[in-house]
């Protein structure tokens, strides 16, 4: 889980301090860089100022150490970009679908109770569960106080991690978890990998033992996830979206997340269900998404899709959760299969595309090797001038044309 929403909230007194600490942490050795111990002392003072008990702070920070592995994880950049096919097949596997179905049955009573209270359909809870920890198989083994302290101190995203660490200390102070809590290198915890701020704001005690336990209590886990989703605006009377079929001559300029139209409008534009039938006659707005470009599967996605993206901002993630939920509920697979043979681009190739596009006047933002909204917009702009299908999807073919100077 990524906590993007919370990033936007002006964070506490420590922001300026953390930014300063971050800058100092990157100062070359031999200068007046603040040591980790000095930094911890500053954090301790801030935590106490926030009202966290001194005893809790001292107990939690007592064994805090720098964890080089966490820094390495934070800075690691894969050589290849990930194709939708690779991402999707590794997360929505037949094995996971079957296990999800069995667990949906097994926990039907509990999931029904949670559904009645928060309105989030059980199939989605099980799908998030499958994607986050393979239904509780792995929670992460990083000591979180040390891990978050390291990432706060080290500075690349210092203010973000510092706010998460302070939230973690508050949760420890409330007694929900102990100071030796473990999780992912980035601070995600329990069955559904809640970040500390999300935990602090949205976790609930569903089983009534006065602890919000996201490791050992499935009622707390499902209740908390539902509380979070309904808190960000999940609509339990609707689904996430569906696979669709686009008509010949479809205007691919319309295939983007921020172009929303009613299903009736999409129907008029020739969009159909994947099997060719009319779109449902439901009063709902949707956007067309093409995760693997115009040759891959197409989807119309609704409001709940954007709520999944609040949980994790990746379109691939949101499509995987939505589709896995459908499969767990017994629905069929995609009719257009994501290409298993598509070669992923190297990050350096994406950088080259970004650089070549910029040289042609299509600004795709920094040449960072990451395909974001800006890069997709630049790709689209170029595709239009080059007479290609403007789906905003960078491919090896696109790079070839750019290299040839076309």
**Does residue number 352 form part of the binding site for Ca ion (CB under 5 A)?**
no
Angle among Cα 53, 56, 62 to the nearest 5 degrees reads 135
Beta carbon of residue 112, minimum distance to Ca ion (angstroms, whole number)? 19
Rounded to whole angstroms, how far apart are CA atoms 242 and 327? 12
Work out the number of other CB atoms within 10 angstroms of the CB of residue 390: 19
Beta carbon of residue 220, minimum distance to Ca ion (angstroms, whole number)? 4
Q: Which of 56, 170, 198, 217 binds Ca ion (CB under 5 A)?
A: 217
Rounded to whole angstroms, how far apart are CA atoms 160 and 179? 20
Both tokens of residue 114?
Answer: 């949670």
Q: Which residues sit opposite 288 in a β-bridge?
A: 300
Closest to 325 (Cα-Cα) out of 157, 129, 165 = 129
Q: Which residue lies nearer to Ca ion by CB, 205 or 235?
A: 205
Contact indicator for 307, 265 with CB cutoff of 8 Å: no
- Helix extents (H) in 26-83: 36-49, 54-61, 68-75
Beta carbon of residue 50, minimum distance to Ca ion (angstroms, whole number)? 24
Instruction: Return the residues of window 175-214 that contact Ca ion according to CB under 5 A.
Output: 205, 207, 209, 211, 213
Q: Which residue lies nearer to Ca ion by CB, 25 or 177?
A: 177
Q: What are phi and psi of 298, to 5 degrees?
A: -115, 150
**Does residue number 265 form part of the binding site for Ca ion (CB under 5 A)?**
no
Instruction: Return the residues of window 43-72 that contact Ca ion according to CB under 5 A.
Output: none
Q: Which residue lies nearer to Ca ion by CB, 105 or 210?
A: 210
Rounded to whole angstroms, how far apart are CA atoms 140 and 204? 21
Q: Which residue lies nearer to Ca ion by CB, 211 or 376?
A: 211
Q: Which residue lies nearer to Ca ion by CB, 207 or 368?
A: 207
Beta carbon of residue 342, minimum distance to Ca ion (angstroms, whole number)? 45
Instruction: Return the residues of window 123-162 that contact Ca ion according to CB under 5 A.
Output: none
Beta carbon of residue 129, minimum distance to Ca ion (angstroms, whole number)? 17
- Helix extents (H) in 50-179: 54-61, 68-75, 84-91, 94-106, 108-118, 122-133, 144-154, 158-174
Rounded to whole angstroms, how far apart are CA atoms 13 and 114? 37
Which residue's beta carbon is nearest to the bound Ca ion? 205
Beta carbon of residue 209, minimum distance to Ca ion (angstroms, whole number)? 4
**Does residue number 220 form part of the binding site for Ca ion (CB under 5 A)?**
yes
Q: Which residue lies nearer to Ca ion by CB, 158 or 223?
A: 223
Q: Which residue lies nearer to Ca ion by CB, 46 or 220?
A: 220
Contact indicator for 272, 245 with CB cutoff of 8 Å: yes
Stretch that binds Ca ion, among 217-225, 267-275, 340-348, 382-390 (CB under 5 A): 217-225
Q: Which residue lies nearer to Ca ion by CB, 199 or 305?
A: 199
**Distance between start and end Cα atoms, the chain:** 41
Stretch that binds Ca ion, among 165-173, 218-226, 230-238, 304-312 (CB under 5 A): 218-226
Contact indicator for 382, 357 with CB cutoff of 8 Å: yes
Q: Which residue lies nearer to Ca ion by CB, 176 or 391?
A: 176
Contact indicator for 101, 330 with CB cutoff of 8 Å: yes
Instruction: Give the interface size with Ca ion as a residue count (CB under 5 A).
Output: 7
Both tokens of residue 165?
Answer: 């660490």
Beta carbon of residue 210, minimum distance to Ca ion (angstroms, whole number)? 7
The angle, 0 to 180 degrees and rounded to 10, between the axes of the packed helices 373-385 and 347-359 is 60
- Helix extents (H) in 233-346: 263-268, 303-311, 315-328
Q: Which residue lies nearer to Ca ion by CB, 213 or 243?
A: 213
Beta carbon of residue 190, minimum distance to Ca ion (angstroms, whole number)? 12
Beta carbon of residue 160, minimum distance to Ca ion (angstroms, whole number)? 28
Q: Tell me, rounded to whole angstroms, the distance of Cα 73 from its chain centroid.
A: 16
Stretch that binds Ca ion, among 89-97, 181-189, 220-228, 265-273 (CB under 5 A): 220-228
Please give the residue ranges that form the binding site for Ca ion (CB under 5 A): 205, 207, 209, 211, 213, 217, 220
């Amino acid at each position: 889980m990524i906590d993007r929403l919370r990033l936007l909230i002006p964070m506490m007194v420590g922001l300026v301090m953390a930014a300063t600490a971050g800058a100092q942490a990157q100062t070359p050795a031999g200068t007046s860089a603040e040591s980790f111990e000095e930094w911890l002392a500053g954090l301790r003072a801030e935590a106490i100022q926030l009202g966290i008990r001194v005893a809790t702070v001292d107990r939690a920070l007592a064994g805090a150490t720098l964890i080089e592995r966490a820094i390495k994880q934070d800075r690691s950049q894969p050589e290849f970009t990930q194709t939708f096919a690779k991402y999707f097949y590794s997360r929505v596997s037949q094995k996971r679908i079957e296990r999800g179905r069995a667990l949906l049955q097994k926990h039907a009573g509990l999931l029904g109770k949670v559904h009645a209270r928060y309105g989030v359909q059980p199939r989605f809870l099980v799908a998030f569960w499958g994607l986050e920890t393979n239904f509780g198989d792995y929670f992460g083994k990083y000591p979180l106080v040390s891990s978050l302290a390291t990432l706060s101190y080290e500075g690349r995203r210092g203010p973000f991690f510092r706010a998460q660490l302070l939230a973690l200390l508050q949760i420890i102070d409330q007694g929900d978890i102990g100071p030796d809590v473990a999780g992912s290198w980035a601070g995600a915890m329990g069955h559904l990998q809640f970040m500390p701020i999300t935990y602090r704001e949205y976790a609930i005690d569903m089983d009534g033992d006065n602890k919000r336990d996201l490791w050992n209590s499935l009622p707390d886990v499902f209740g908390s996830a539902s509380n979070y989703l309904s808190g960000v605006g999940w609509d339990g009377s609707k689904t996430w979206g569906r696979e669709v079929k686009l008509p010949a001559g479809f205007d691919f300029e319309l295939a983007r997340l921020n172009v929303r139209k009613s299903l009736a409008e999409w129907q008029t534009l020739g969009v159909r269900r994947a099997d060719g039938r009319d779109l449902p006659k439901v009063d709902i707005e949707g956007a067309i998404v093409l995760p693997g470009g115009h040759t891959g599967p197409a989807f119309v996605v609704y409001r709940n899709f954007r709520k999944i993206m609040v949980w994790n901002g990746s379109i691939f993630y949101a499509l995987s959760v939505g589709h896995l939920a459908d499969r767990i509920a017994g629905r069929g697979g995609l009719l257009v299969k994501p290409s298993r043979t598509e070669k992923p681009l190297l990050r350096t190739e994406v950088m080259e595309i970004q650089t070549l596009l910029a040289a042609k006047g299509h600004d795709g933002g920094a040449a960072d090797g990451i395909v974001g909204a800006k890069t997709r917009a630049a790709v689209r702009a170029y595709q239009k001038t080059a007479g290609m299908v403007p789906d905003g999807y960078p491919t090896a073919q696109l790079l070839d044309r750019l290299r040839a100077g076309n």
